[in-house]
Structure 1
Amino acid sequence: MTLLSSKSDMSVNKRRLRMWIRMLRTTRFVEARLREFLRDKYDTTLPRFDVMAALYRSADGLKMSELSKLLLVSNGNVTGIIERLVTDALVLRVNVEGDRRAMLVCLTDQGRKVFEEMAREHEALINDLFADLDGEDLDELVPVLSRLKAIEDKKS
């Protein structure tokens, strides 16, 4: 079988490539705006925001290994972020009973309060960035992206 078996396949292949480039450009644009917003408004980073979001969703806290797996980053990356969040009194680290090597991390009350404020403004920024998409657009786009995620899950 050849890489491009027919003219119609080539057309679909090119369209897939164009779709990927548009998705990538959009993602980079939105990420850049989010990074700028977090840096300017909260003197924080997108990775710190992501860690806080994961801990916010897990009220009982997460082991460091669970957190790094959830965020798809190395334990070392998570450790550095957690160290700074602990220093800022936004995260608390506690030993896991029965496992001397494991640490459980959770947001402090102050960390929850700070994250809730950031999350509200994050949502407002996302809504502003995608304001030109109406409900019908979202009803078409979200299922397609969900199918892409399902394909990704099958392949991993």
Structure 2
Amino acid sequence: MKKIFNLILVATTLFVFSNAYAQEKYLPVSETPGQIASYVKAHFPKSKIISVKEDKEIFKTEYEAKLNTMVELEFDGHFSIKNIESKDALPQSVVPTRIAAYVQKNYPDNKIIEWKKKKKGQKIELDNDIDLVFDLSGKFLGIDR
């Protein structure tokens, strides 16, 4: 019984300290990390960054950038893009070639409005609310329902 109590005490302490360490703050636009600014300039040249949020936790850091064109970008702590969401079609330069080709062939009248990369795959959302799932190499796996 004492072991269970100690285990619960340790878990609770870790939870409290990890939440206490988690810090979310907005960076001045002038202090946008260079990698994020370069990504925006390369793929969204007509857009301007209007906010950058840094979310620090014990084992990871993430960034969220919002553009004046209703685009939201999420980056991991190494500034690799993780998620792109827009009200309009995403530029072809941000969608992996194999995925763009699949959508062009199978959904020629639709636009990709969101792309998300996860550890085991990728997911896109079309403007008709259909979510398509792909592996990391861009091979189509199915429709997410």
- TM-score normalised to structure 2 length: 0.33
* Larger strand share, 1 or 2: 2
Higher relative contact order (CA 8 A, sep 6+): 1
Larger Rg: 1
* Larger helix share, 1 or 2: 1
- TM-score normalised to structure 1 length: 0.31
